[in-house]
A = this chain, B = another copy of it.
Amino acid sequence: MKPVKVGLMGLGTVGTGVVRIVEGHQEDLQGQVASPIVISKILVKDRAKARSISVDHGKLTEDPWEIVRDPEIDVVVEVMGGIGSTKEIMLEALERGKHIVTANKDLMAMHGPEILAKAKEKGCDVFYEASVAGGIPIIRTLIEGFSSDRITKIMGIVNGTTNYILTKMSQEGAAYADVLKEAQALGYAESDPTSDVEGLDAARKMTILATIGFRANVSLEDVDVKGISSVTQEDIQYAHQLGYEVKLLGIAERQDDFISVSVQPTMVKRGHPIASVNGVFNAVYVHGEAVGETMFYGPGAGELPTATSVVADLVAVVKNMKLGVNGRQASVSYKEKKLKTDEQIASKYFLLLHVEDRAGVLMQIAQVFSQYDVSIESVMQPATPGQKGAELIISTHAVSKASMNEVLKAFAELSSVQTIKSVYRVEG
């Protein structure tokens, strides 16, 4: 049995996990693919650096092209990240007939169509299960498990850092800034946390999920993004009073082939399966016309969980090699993308307003809602002793985003509304 040779690009957290699994589970892997799988070259930034695993020093290289140009290498496993030069390297690897397994969400969200087109042209596989939700095999599930269904909604907690922060805020009553610092100290958040807390990381993952789930090429620019940096403890307390949890949700929806994708802090009704997904765990809730409600839960990051997905993809590539069917999967994106307008995007909302405390204010506010056809589910005015002015907590029925924007614009011009403190989408 000729061994299958793998060039591993990147020996950070995930790369180390890939080495551990390929070596540690070699017997199991051979049981499935009937060939040894050998990592024959490893791209690193610094060959001299000390490693937490023992690797044959002769396999290490600092030059990616050494892997790309090696005719012996069948599969490139890319876990180094990056976009610009990484894309060039991947395209050249495909040009030379190498299959690709990648965990790179940025690359696939921004250049997925180009890379997949090149793969198709060259008859190569490109698999990227690990790019979304770490150890959860959600890409496979969407492509194969629900091939028969029409998916209408995908809601994802796809960023562990923000879910950790929101869980801590919810369970311990801590302030955003304090929990962020703690998450940074524990290594759950980067020293520059922007990509996570502003929702950009989640937006990239939702781009990938929406493209696959709706079979149309969704771009990162199509995603409406808002992060969690403005979520306050006060918001969370009010959410609890109403029976909700605040979660950073990616939401991709489809109706009559019109699509919308967004990422925003969302109030999720307790009892909805995604409301109880806590800590660094990820989950993807999928609603299909026929199947109804499903949810897939697991670790969203980490050395071994992410490497599990990478190596499962590697097994899939090798099985295809044995069958001679690499690159033969039908393209998943065969539908024309049609984006919903703000008039077509409907959801329930939660608003927290700081208003003047005098007679007639509520009537003014009610008039604005009525003017834009926004139907109110409930209005609460909690006691705020000692504070100047009053607080109003308003829940709406499902209403178009366009109408809600009009309402918010009107409030901004209304002198009796002193501050629009919070606006949340509501689910569940």
In angstroms, Cα B308 to Cα A140, docked, is 15
Answer whether A295 and B292 are a contact pair too, CB < 8 Å, given A31-B215, A146-B137, A146-B308.
no
Alpha-carbon separation in the docked complex, A292 to B135 (Å): 8
Assess whether A56 is interfacial by the CB under 8 Å rule.
no
Chain B min CB distance to A407 (Å): 36
From A197-205, A237-245, A311-319, A349-357, the one touching the partner chain is A311-319
**Contact between chains at B295 and A297 (CB < 8 Å):** yes
CA A308 to CA B145, docked complex, whole Å: 8
Interface status of A25 (Cβ within 8 A of chain B): yes
A329 vs B319: C-alpha distance when bound (angstroms): 8
Q: Does A33 contact B (CB under 8 A)?
A: yes
Measured between alpha carbons, how far is A29 from B323 in the docked complex, in Å? 23
* A356–chain B nearest beta-carbon distance, Å: 43
* Interface membership of A126, Cβ < 8 A: no
Report the count of interface residues on A (CB-CB < 8 A): 59
In the complex, what residues of B have CB within 8 A of residue A308's CB? 146, 148-149, 288, 290-291
A287 to B: closest C-beta gap in Å: 10
Q: In the complex, what's the smallest C-beta–C-beta distance from A277 to chain B, in angstroms? A: 8
Q: Would A312 and B148 be within 8 Å (CB), given that A291-B298, A298-B293, A325-B323 are in contact?
A: yes
Chain B residues, Cβ within 8 Å of A289: 304
Q: Is the CB of B150 within 8 A of A140?
A: no
- Bound state CA distance, A33 and B332, in angstroms? 11
Partner of A148, one of B281, B292, B315, B319: B315
Chain A 334-372 residues near chain B, CB threshold 8 A: 334-335
State how many angstroms separate the Cβ of A212 from the closest Cβ of chain B: 12
Is B323 a contact of A33 with CB atoms below 8 Å?
Answer: no
Determine how many copies of this chain the complex contains. Answer: 2
Kindly list chain B residues whose C-beta atoms are within 8 Å of the C-beta of A319: 329-330
Q: Which residue of B lies closest to A289 (CB)?
A: B304
CB–CB A21/B148 < 8 A = yes
Bits for A122-145, please: 1 = Cβ < 8 Å to B, else 0. 000000010000011100110011
Is B323 touching A305 in the complex (CB atoms < 8 A)? no
- Asked if A32 is at the interface of the complex by the 8 Å CB criterion, the answer is yes
Q: Which residue of B lies closest to A305 (CB)?
A: B291
Return the chain B residue nearest A215 by Cβ.
B31
Q: How far is the CA of A148 from the CA of B28 in the complex (A)?
A: 8
Residue among A308, A314, A328 with the most chain B CB within 10 A? A308
Is B299 a contact of A292 with CB atoms below 8 Å? Answer: yes
**When each residue 258-271 of chain A gets 1 if its CB lies under 8 Å from chain B and 0 otherwise, what string results?**
00000000000000
CA distance A75 to B103 in the complex (A): 36
Q: Is residue A426 contacting chain B, with contact meaning CB distance below 8 A?
A: no
Closest to A138 in B: B145
**Residue A294 at the chain B interface, CB threshold 8 Å:** yes
Question: CA A147 – CA B308 in complex, angstroms?
Answer: 8
Among A291, A292, A304, A309, find the residue whose CB has the most chain B CB atoms closer than 10 A. A291
Q: Which 5 A-B pairs have the closest CB atoms?
A: A137-B145, A148-B311, A294-B298, A290-B304, A135-B291
> Can you list 5 A-B contacts with CB-CB less than 8 angstroms, sorted by A residue number?
A25-B150, A273-B297, A289-B304, A323-B323, A325-B325
